[in-house]
Amino acid sequence: MKKLVFIVSLFLISTSFTVSKRIDTLIIKEIKGVFNVEHFEKRSITISNELNDNLPLKITGTNFYKVESNEDHLGYYYLGQAYGKADYFDFIVIFDKELMVSKVKILVYREDHGGEIGSKRWLKQFIGKVSTQNLIYQKDIAAISGATISAKAMTNEVNKLLQTIGILINKQQL
Amino acid sequence: MKKVGLLFAILWISLNGYSQENLQNAGQRILNSNVLNGVTIGGYAQIDYNEPDGSQVGKLDIHRLVLLFGYKFNEKVSFLTEVEYEHVEEVFVEQAYIKYKAIESLNVLAGLMLIPMGIINEYHEPTTYYGVERPSVDNYIVPTTWRELGVGISGKIDNASLKYQAYLFNGFKSYKDGEGVLRGSDGLRKGRQKGAESVVSSPNFSTKLDYYGIAGLRLGLAGYFGKTQTDDTSIEASTVGVSMIGFDARYKYNNLELRGQYIHTNLSNTEDYNTLTGKDLGSKMTGLYGEIAYNFDLKGVEKLTPFLRYEKFNTHADTDGNLAANKAYDRDELFFGLNYKVADGAAFKIDYQLMNNAVSGSDTSKQFNAGVAIWF
């Protein structure tokens, strides 16, 4: 028992030095992976307050970006937050230049239950979705038993994002 | 308890301190105030009406009322506790543990935690299962709510759609004040120590893997191994060896829901234990159930769900020595009923329960159950 306590303590101390830059590194890695590039530039998308008022998700200037590489337009990405049972989780949605979903990834999951939505295979279901679609949980997106609340929250959030993008396309903002 | 009282006091004052039109503001104030920053409040309740067929009277009961409090110290460290009132008068602590998120895919946990075995022990909030009462297998074979003190790790591997858990817990208490605790009718149930001045003579190992990589399907495989605890380690026969294996599956497709589980428990040294204590503990216990449910969508979030569940369990699947297997412990049950979900986290339930055992010529006993299920 003493040995165990010692090992656990040692482990905890060593991990407490983990850099909090993890998320930034993760975002960069995902974007490079999706567009298969070594370097890219991000350009933040801003819109008028007036239009923002009518959007299901607000574009803040720090959550929606255009991705470019050597003047080539590659696509977009959105950083979002959704609420599970008792806490927020952070996610990224990467779009191709036609604004079709290319990848969804959970960046930080905080609460005990519902972390199953981080499953790569489950998140793959969002790939290929476009702004004209409205996803219904347990029909278009398969359920995860034991993670219902978070899985529904994620589905809703993607729906809101797709709607938002639909509006922005109509208003010729993208 | 003082803290809980204080919290309620704050809630009470802030809810009542503002006039009706400011209620929204009061709510926001609570959420935004520093006092409750990082605090999570939740709970669940199961209120039952049970009416056995025949001459017995019906029973109304606040079976369980559980208040959950969580506190997040920072992005890595959180504490969660559930205080349970059972039948109004009995107070228990159902969970109380600290979680340290070492990295995104690994947590270290310590305190009073749920043993991962089967479906219900971990997911026991009444709106998450069908039927007024929990499945009987999750009562006689898996002694829900089964929680003990220990340390462990848990986490998820996103690339593999896998959740893992592993713990060391104190085990069941089989011997106390010169008397045996475990018995044939409900196996290990009486031996739960529930974190109350628990004794530990040898730690028990518990683990579970959950796989959810196939759309709509979730599979679980759990194991629990060790020895029961005794307050007199000089008596070898006062403990028994426990090895429990559990397999569970849940599947959802459109409006259809299926779930089932199988639990197999082997107990060693029961012959000596029974000789010492005069008890009738079996050496093998098994239990399984299968359930089918179909959701009819009503307006909004409302759903009406008929369900059917068949269970078979035997706490005397095998016995050692000259203990004859008691056929009354070889049971099967059929539940069928309706679940009327009126909100995410609130449902009305009714069902009918048919109970049989393997004693020849025994009658089927029947029970009508109705209840309210809440989770917030």
Sort out which chain A residues have CB atoms less than 8 A from B80's CB and list them.
Answer: 112
Give the pLDDT score at A21: 76
Are residues B30 and B141 both part of a single domain? no
B108 touches chain A (CB under 8 A): yes
Are residues B91 and B26 both part of a single domain? no
> Is residue A5 over pLDDT 80?
no
Render pLDDT for A109-147 as a digit per residue (tens, 0 to 9).
Answer: 998 889 999 999 999 999 999 999 999 999 999 999 999
pLDDT band for position A14 (50/70/90)? low
> Is residue B361 over pLDDT 50?
yes
Share of chain B above pLDDT 90, in %: 87
> Is residue A98 over pLDDT 90?
yes
CA nearest to A108, candidates A128, A127, A86, A81 = A81
β-strand pairing of B173-176 with B229-230: parallel
Sort out which chain B residues have CB atoms less than 8 A from A147's CB and list them.
Answer: 212
Amino acid identity at B118? G
Supply B158's token pair.
């996103």
β-strand pairing of B256-268 with B284-294: antiparallel
Give the pLDDT score at A22: 82
Give the pLDDT score at A23: 87
Render pLDDT for B124-146 as a digit per residue (tens, 0 to 9).
Answer: 999 999 999 999 999 999 999 99
A71: distance to nearest CA of chain B, Å? Answer: 33
pLDDT band for position B18 (50/70/90)? very low
Give the pLDDT score at B23: 47
Three-state SS at A167 = helix
Are residues B141 and B220 both part of a single domain? yes
Render pLDDT for B203-226 as a digit per residue (tens, 0 to 9).
Answer: 999 999 999 999 999 999 999 999
Are residues B246 and B354 both part of a single domain? yes
Render pLDDT for A47-70 as a digit per residue (tens, 0 to 9).
Answer: 999 999 999 999 999 999 999 999
Are residues B47 and B128 both part of a single domain? yes
Give the pLDDT score at A19: 42
Question: Inter-axis angle of helices B23-32 and B2-16, to 10 degrees?
Answer: 140
Sort out which chain B residues have CB atoms less than 8 A from A126's CB and list them.
Answer: none
The answer to whether A122 contacts B212, with C-beta atoms less than 8 Å apart, is yes
Instruction: Give how far Cα B315 sits from Cα of A144, B183, B224, Å.
Output: 32, 9, 17
The answer to whether B254 contacts A138, with C-beta atoms less than 8 Å apart, is yes
CA nearest to B79, candidates B92, B91, B68 = B68
Name the closest residue on chain A to residue B344, using Cα atoms: A149
Are residues B18 and B43 both part of a single domain? no
Domain that holds residue B3: 1-37
Per-domain boundaries in chain A: 20-170
Are residues B31 and B159 both part of a single domain? no
Handedness of CA B264, B266, B271, B277 (dihedral sign): negative
**Structurally, how many domains does chain B consist of?**
2
Share of chain B above pLDDT 70, in %: 90
Looking at per-residue pLDDT, the higher value among A9 and A75 belongs to: A75
CATH number at residue B121: 2.40.160.10
> Is residue A15 over pLDDT 80?
no
Are residues B137 and B8 both part of a single domain? no
Give the pLDDT score at B7: 55
Are residues B3 and B106 both part of a single domain? no
Render pLDDT for A35-45 as a digit per residue (tens, 0 to 9).
Answer: 999 999 999 99
Are residues B30 and B169 both part of a single domain? no
> Is residue B17 over pLDDT 50?
no
Sort out which chain A residues have CB atoms less than 8 A from B168's CB and list them.
Answer: 4
A20: distance to nearest CA of chain B, Å? Answer: 10
Sort out which chain B residues have CB atoms less than 8 A from A143's CB and list them.
Answer: 216, 252
Sort out which chain B residues have CB atoms less than 8 A from A16's CB and list them.
Answer: 76
pLDDT band for position B6 (50/70/90)? low
> Is residue B26 over pLDDT 80?
no
Give the pLDDT score at B239: 96
B208 touches chain A (CB under 8 A): no
Question: Shortest CB distance from B102 goes to which of A12, A120, A148?
Answer: A12
Are residues B354 and B295 both part of a single domain? yes
Are residues B47 and B145 both part of a single domain? yes
Name the closest residue on chain B to residue A17, using Cα atoms: B102
CA nearest to B182, candidates B277, B92, B318 = B277
What is the C-alpha separation between B58 and B50, in angstroms, rounded?
6
What is the C-alpha separation between B257 and B297, in angstroms, rounded?
14
B278 touches chain A (CB under 8 A): no
pLDDT, mean over chain A: 91
pLDDT band for position B156 (50/70/90)? very high
Q: Which of A10-14, B240-244, B318-322 has the lowest mean pLDDT?
A: A10-14
> Is residue A149 over pLDDT 50?
yes
- Asked whether the beta carbons of B126 and B375 are under 8 A apart, the reply is yes
pLDDT, mean over chain B: 91
Q: Which of A63-77, A139-153, B18-32, B247-261 has the lowest mean pLDDT?
A: B18-32
Interface predicted TM-score (ipTM)? 0.85
